[in-house]
Structure 1
Amino acid sequence: MLSTATGTPAPAEATWRPKQPPLTTPWTDQVGPGNALPEYPRPQLTRQRWMNLNGLWDYAGGGEQPRTTRERILVPYPPESALSGIQRHDDHMLYRRTFDVPRDWAGQRVLLHFGAVDQKATVSVNGRRVAEHEGGYTAFSADITDALRPGSPQRLEVAVTDRNDENPYPVGKQRNEPGGILYTGSSGIWQTVWLEPVPAAHIDAVDITPDAAAGAFSLTARTTGTTGERVEAVVTDRDGREVSRAGGPADRPLRLPVDRPHLWTPDDPYLYDVAVRLVDARGRTVDRVGSYAGMRSIALVRDAQGRPRMALNGRVVFQHGPLDQGFWPDGSYTAPTDAALRSDLEQTKRLGFNMVRKHVKVEPARWYYWADRLGLLVWQDMPSLPIDLAEAPGSNPPPSAAAREHYRDELVAMIDQLRSSPSVVVWVPFNEGWGEFDTVRVAELVHRADPTRLVDPSSGVNCCYSLPDSGAGDLYDDHTYVGPGRPPVEGRRASVDGEYGGLGLALDGHLWPGRPQAYEMTHSREELTRRYAEVSDDLAGIVRDTGLSAAVYTQTTDVENEVNGFLTYDRRVLKPDPEVVAAHNRAVIDAGTP
């Protein structure tokens, strides 16, 4: 078990209490200062000792950078959320707290980690600047050892600027003025903040790439402070039996062959445990971390009719799942609890799907951990740059040079952050042309950053604000509402319905303030279930006739005024009959899986 040490919040005159959200979830009342996301936040690089800094912090926000904190906020819930206790947007934010370094950390380096802070963050410890970070979706860390003061509480300060869609950063569907398919923004700290002690020479990351055809893992331990230390890695199966061992220089790939490997699939999401040690010339352990890995491949193949299809582990498997937005009525961008985060994926499995498209958002590491564990293929979108969707297609100016630079930087960082997750099989750089630019070059950039996965360069290339089809990438992606779409399957790329559906049902008592919207509105559970069955039957016929490779239904949950989810926004009602939905989803998968 991983142990946690508790930091001491800074004193403040203000008190904290949660605000009342327009809708509560089953987990809203479980959240408080003593249990704000207490789980270990980085499942693919684990250590035994760490300190969670989630909880109450001093806070101030406004139109200018504040200097004095007069409120309290519950981290890591964004200020716009009810769970934060603030429930408003501030362009500029100031977070402060103190913590004590445990005595048994003496002689170690101390690392400070942030899961994500939106958009620009400057971090100081005891008045000394230790980190600056731009971009709201990727993790960052700082070695704060030299800023610590022995024998006294340590003062931590995070100054943040986030003007949401008015700044040239990827924002996904966040907006200062939400409405329709655009939602309330989330600013500031919105993922776990934590500390860990490490030796001077230590492991920073473990990159694991499966080679299912060869039955081997490639593992690279990225390190800091090494002076000739070696890496030793051991792979064990679920029963704890060693199945592979290798050693070699740090920061170099190790090959770990596995005899008769157990392949990872959505029906059997088998994961191996991985232990990695950094050892010195005398064989003494300098640092050790834990991880896990799944053996699987993703590629394009030709089916019996010569059509390009998506194949998992060398076999054509139809990929079917919902569009997953990742918004919460109580926590905004942040799920109230880890159980809530897991629950959406469990419901996706219950509905018979084998895939999920994470739509223009990057989730905390634990979301991908649950996708890996539960067995869902993940299509990972890059959060889009802001555009004005009220303007007609073609009227938005191209992204500025600064926006393009921020986009490329965060795209590569996202890929690097998620590269070891076996569930992630497709990267989606652009959606419906939102902030699209240099499509061919961006697709090539993604392929260079990760040649082991497929690239869907322009989801919804047939519609909306998309630039003309560039022919780049591995997939041709059609969006048709209600649909399903019937794109041709030809050439070298597989064809997919990247979005379809959008059948709505508004349920009193489970609605966000405002007018409910959907692509097609139904008026009862029975009508919604019947229409879903009809659309699914049409989809199954298209799959059989054309060789379509995948389909993404809109969507997992209602989001604010959109009511086309399987679940209400508060996650309290599963709207259609789940048995009927699951049966039709399995029939579609079977239709496309020879």
Structure 2
Amino acid sequence: MRLYLGILASWLALTRIATSVHTLKHRQSNETDYQIADGPLMTKWTETVGTNPWPEYPRPRLQRPNWKNLNGVWRYRNTVKGSDASPPFGERLEEAVLVPFCLESALSAGVGGTRRIWSWYQTSFDVPSSWPIGNKVLLNFGAVDYEATIFVNGQKAGSHVGGYFEFSIDVTDYLSASGTNELLVYTYDPTDMDDIQIPIGKQTLSRGGMIWYTPCSGIWQTVWLESTPPEYISKLDLTADMDGKVVMTVHSSTDSTDIPYGITVHELGSTDAKATANGTSGIPFTFNVPSPELWTPDSPTLYNITIKYGSDTIQSYTGFRTVSRGLVGNIQRPLLNGKFVFPFGTLDQGYWPDGIYTPPSVEAMRYDLEVLKSVGYNMVRKHIKVEPALFYRACDEMGLLVIQDMPSLRPDLPVPGGGCGIIRLDPKAQFEFDRQLMLMVEQLKSYPSIFTWTIYNEEWGQATSPPWPEYRLTEMVRRSDPTRLIIAVSGWTDHGAGDYDDNHHYSTPQCGTPFWSRQGGGYDSAYDTSRIGIQGEFGGLGTRVEFEHSWFKDWDEQTAYELANSTAVWNYRAHDLLVQLRDQVELFACSGGVWTQTTDVQGEVNGMMTYDREIVRMDVQMWKEDIRALYDAAARRTNESLATVCTESEGV
């Protein structure tokens, strides 16, 4: 107690952290009329974005050498419903827009507001003359929210539905012989307009309250071209376990099931082959790598993989690890490589004041993860959002476990005839939710860092009467990916499906405990001993911040589940909650926790950092010690269990 009174006193003397304030200035390119728009808040990366953002190769698990980034300044027009029937071919659209930033963001050029529901994008491109003649040209999108229709040189080339998922279109047959090609993209993003119910996470056009945020419309991840042979690898599924077993499926663009391919596994930074093998496309192929170094949060070892499929050569990577669950001392635990690992991380929402859904740069995106890793967090819960592929690569490299949420349906729909919203599921929404859930799993299931899927969050879009869909969806996810654990319902209403009993309780934890709590309009049951106990959300402590670091310039709009008067008191209160969680590890069946949250988000001021990432609230030494104490408590429970097993074995 004396120690923390001392910490409290020191923090009371330092309630204002000195930071550099980045003043926003309009920047105009010599070549375009693009400029950053005025916005409520910026970051230290805003002014470094330039007009060629996100230049990195965007798909680290399936890389090819011949590619061209199309990010940059495009043209834009806000439009009306149904206008995709009359594409503006050959016109110069009125406004500049920076791709790949949400239309509502300052970095996009601020063409936004919050109702960019129907939009046209326009740009032009040429195909590099160095690319092999006779190859195909693919046009790739990291993500477009929500529906996208693609036109190349006056012809419709393809379309896609789903705001979080990558897609590719073969545009070879639409290319111009003259070399210059016109690209138009029509987007439709209703968010939560009228009674529409689609996967949107926390985006909203008009809903009040602290947990709903500015929507992200249009192109919000990298757009790029690539050159491929006529038959090429369209998808790669890859898992590698703790015993060195690799299971790989190479999917062909022509759905061929009899084309041989060669595999070479390298250690990072080495050209020496650690293992080689040969498989056949379209079916799972298994081979073994001798004595691999395992992937763990403390030692996130990765291996490069080269695959040669006919004339197509791709680069990929993997990490060797096994995720499972099992009894440790008669308590269900999450296991990594056969050992109980205590996953402890933050609710990571991935919102940015300047880019909304899109970080200003890879450097900025990695900064958040580096801050978390620096105090000992070994996990993030990616909360009802899917990130760019380079986010998961960063987690793979840093050793951060990922609980990956499915982006939720909106939790309420207007009452017929008017009135407040009620929690109910539009029956038409279930099919699309199911389809996009599987898109998410299929897109992300080969990243080593992801160890758990979450299907539903706090009843949002979850059916309110039997048959409970989470049972069916849990089995559907399990069939697609049997290598990970599943949270069927994070928070409430939990009907017993999945691997976890997941409790949300602000501000105090109730993790794996034999008592009840009132939350979410009803009672959560006491811990279900047949599943893993995890504190899916807790904390939510905040402090109000000076307006130069705040999205809202009104004190009353800075909110949290609990507010402290200073950063010092915030740390004191956080220590109290972390000690409570440690007690629940030591006394009960707590097997992991998620602290709310990584950063402030718009009106929520309860982050490890402010929304602009300028102020880190954490007393770093205290947080390091408290997080380490959680891991130590979990290790003691494991050691006690092993000692009991040994004693019982000797007795037999």
1:234 match: secondary structure: strand
Hey, what's the Cα distance between the residues in 2 that align with 1:429 and 1:55? Answer: 35
Per the alignment, residue 152 of structure 1 pairs with 179
Structure with bigger gyration radius: 2
Per the alignment, residue 95 of structure 1 pairs with 121
Alignment of 1:18-97 (within 5 A): 18-33=36-51, 35-64=52-81, 68=88, 69-85=93-109, 86-89=111-114, 90-97=116-123
Is 2:323 the counterpart of 1:298?
Answer: yes
492, 506, 512: which one aligns with 2:530: 492
Alignment of 1:267-416 (within 5 A): 267-279=298-310, 286-304=311-329, 306-388=330-412, 396-416=422-442
Kindly indicate whether the alpha-carbon contact (under 8 Å) linking 1:12 and 1:58 is maintained by their aligned counterparts in 2: no
1:37 match: secondary structure: coil
Per the alignment, residue 541 of structure 2 pairs with 503
Deviation at 1:13, TM superposition (A): 11
Q: Structure 2: which 5+ residue stretches go unaligned?
A: 1-28, 464-468, 514-526, 639-652
2:282 match: secondary structure: coil
Hey, what's the Cα distance between the residues in 1 that align with 2:191 and 2:390? Answer: 25
Deviation at 1:143, TM superposition (A): 0.5
Is 2:259 the counterpart of 1:229?
Answer: yes
Residue 529 of structure 2 aligns with an amino acid whose one-letter code is G
Alignment of 1:169-568 (within 5 A): 169-177=198-206, 179-212=209-242, 214-225=243-254, 228-238=258-268, 239-279=270-310, 286-304=311-329, 306-388=330-412, 396-437=422-463, 438-461=469-492, 466=493, 469-488=494-513, 489-508=527-546, 509-513=548-552, 514=554, 515-568=557-610
Deviation at 1:65, TM superposition (A): 5.0
Hey, what's the Cα distance between the residues in 2 that align with 1:254 and 1:327? Answer: 39
Is 2:155 the counterpart of 1:137?
Answer: no
Deviation at 1:237, TM superposition (A): 1.6
Deviation at 1:152, TM superposition (A): 3.2
Deviation at 1:129, TM superposition (A): 1.2
Question: Which portions of structure 1, spanning 4 or more consecutive aligned residues, are displaced by more than 4 angstroms?
Answer: 11-14, 65-68
Hey, what's the Cα distance between the residues in 1 that align with 2:231 and 2:79? Answer: 41
Per the alignment, residue 8 of structure 1 pairs with none
Per the alignment, residue 643 of structure 2 pairs with none
Kindly indicate whether the alpha-carbon contact (under 8 Å) linking 2:512 and 2:589 is maintained by their aligned counterparts in 1: no
Q: Structure 1: which 5+ residue stretches go unaligned?
A: 1-10, 280-285
Q: Matched residue pairs, number?
A: 567
Hey, what's the Cα distance between the residues in 1 that align with 2:421 and 2:179? Answer: 57
Kindly indicate whether the alpha-carbon contact (under 8 Å) linking 2:512 and 2:584 is maintained by their aligned counterparts in 1: no
Deviation at 1:26, TM superposition (A): 1.2
Residue deviations 1:490-535 (CA, integer Å, cap 9, x gap): 4321110000001101120211114110111112121111111111
Hey, what's the Cα distance between the residues in 2 that align with 1:226 and 1:527? Answer: 60
Hey, what's the Cα distance between the residues in 2 that align with 1:63 and 1:516? Answer: 35
Hey, what's the Cα distance between the residues in 2 that align with 1:152 and 1:433? Answer: 52
Hey, what's the Cα distance between the residues in 1 that align with 2:434 and 2:350? Answer: 22
2:575 match: secondary structure: helix
Hey, what's the Cα distance between the residues in 1 that align with 2:287 and 2:353? Answer: 44
Hey, what's the Cα distance between the residues in 2 that align with 1:486 and 1:143? Answer: 49
Call closer, same or farther: CA 1:431–1:226 in 2, change over 3 Å: closer
Call closer, same or farther: CA 1:390–1:576 in 2, change over 3 Å: farther
Residue 222 of structure 1 aligns with an amino acid whose one-letter code is H
Hey, what's the Cα distance between the residues in 1 that align with 2:615 and 2:413? Answer: 30
Kindly indicate whether the alpha-carbon contact (under 8 Å) linking 1:215 and 1:260 is maintained by their aligned counterparts in 2: yes
Call closer, same or farther: CA 1:373–1:390 in 2, change over 3 Å: farther
Deviation at 1:254, TM superposition (A): 2.3
Residue 511 of structure 1 aligns with an amino acid whose one-letter code is S
Hey, what's the Cα distance between the residues in 2 that align with 1:390 and 1:182? Answer: 16
Residue deviations 1:167-205 (CA, integer Å, cap 9, x gap): 332000000025411100000100000000000011112
Per the alignment, residue 17 of structure 1 pairs with 35
Deviates more, 1:128-137 or 1:554-563: 128-137
Residue 494 of structure 1 aligns with an amino acid whose one-letter code is I
Residue 148 of structure 1 aligns with an amino acid whose one-letter code is L
Kindly indicate whether the alpha-carbon contact (under 8 Å) linking 2:411 and 2:459 is maintained by their aligned counterparts in 1: no
Residue 533 of structure 1 aligns with an amino acid whose one-letter code is H
1:158 match: secondary structure: strand
Kindly indicate whether the alpha-carbon contact (under 8 Å) linking 2:412 and 2:424 is maintained by their aligned counterparts in 1: no
Kindly indicate whether the alpha-carbon contact (under 8 Å) linking 1:308 and 1:490 is maintained by their aligned counterparts in 2: no
Residue 512 of structure 1 aligns with an amino acid whose one-letter code is W
Deviation at 1:59, TM superposition (A): 0.4
Deviation at 1:484, TM superposition (A): 1.1
Kindly indicate whether the alpha-carbon contact (under 8 Å) linking 2:413 and 2:424 is maintained by their aligned counterparts in 1: no
Hey, what's the Cα distance between the residues in 2 that align with 1:590 and 1:275? Answer: 39
Deviation at 1:248, TM superposition (A): 2.1
Is 2:627 the counterpart of 1:585?
Answer: yes
Structure 1-normalised TM-score? 0.92
Residue 540 of structure 2 aligns with an amino acid whose one-letter code is G
Deviates more, 1:265-274 or 1:148-157: 148-157
Kindly indicate whether the alpha-carbon contact (under 8 Å) linking 2:64 and 2:315 is maintained by their aligned counterparts in 1: yes
1:330 match: secondary structure: coil
Residue deviations 1:233-289 (CA, integer Å, cap 9, x gap): 11112344322211021122222312112110000000011000013xxxxxx1100
Deviation at 1:87, TM superposition (A): 3.4
Residue deviations 1:545-590 (CA, integer Å, cap 9, x gap): 1121110000000000000000000011101212211221111122
Residue 20 of structure 1 aligns with an amino acid whose one-letter code is D
1:262 match: secondary structure: coil
Per the alignment, residue 20 of structure 2 pairs with none
Hey, what's the Cα distance between the residues in 1 that align with 2:254 and 2:174? Answer: 18
Kindly indicate whether the alpha-carbon contact (under 8 Å) linking 2:42 and 2:353 is maintained by their aligned counterparts in 1: yes
1:104 match: secondary structure: coil
1:122 match: secondary structure: strand
2:590 match: secondary structure: coil
1:96 match: secondary structure: strand
1:587 match: secondary structure: helix
Residue 427 of structure 2 aligns with an amino acid whose one-letter code is A
1:569 match: secondary structure: coil
Residue 155 of structure 2 aligns with an amino acid whose one-letter code is R
Kindly indicate whether the alpha-carbon contact (under 8 Å) linking 1:14 and 1:71 is maintained by their aligned counterparts in 2: no
Call closer, same or farther: CA 1:395–1:445 in 2, change over 3 Å: farther
Kindly indicate whether the alpha-carbon contact (under 8 Å) linking 1:272 and 1:294 is maintained by their aligned counterparts in 2: yes
Kindly indicate whether the alpha-carbon contact (under 8 Å) linking 2:412 and 2:421 is maintained by their aligned counterparts in 1: no
Deviates more, 1:309-318 or 1:86-95: 86-95
Residue 316 of structure 1 aligns with an amino acid whose one-letter code is F
Structure 2-normalised TM-score? 0.84
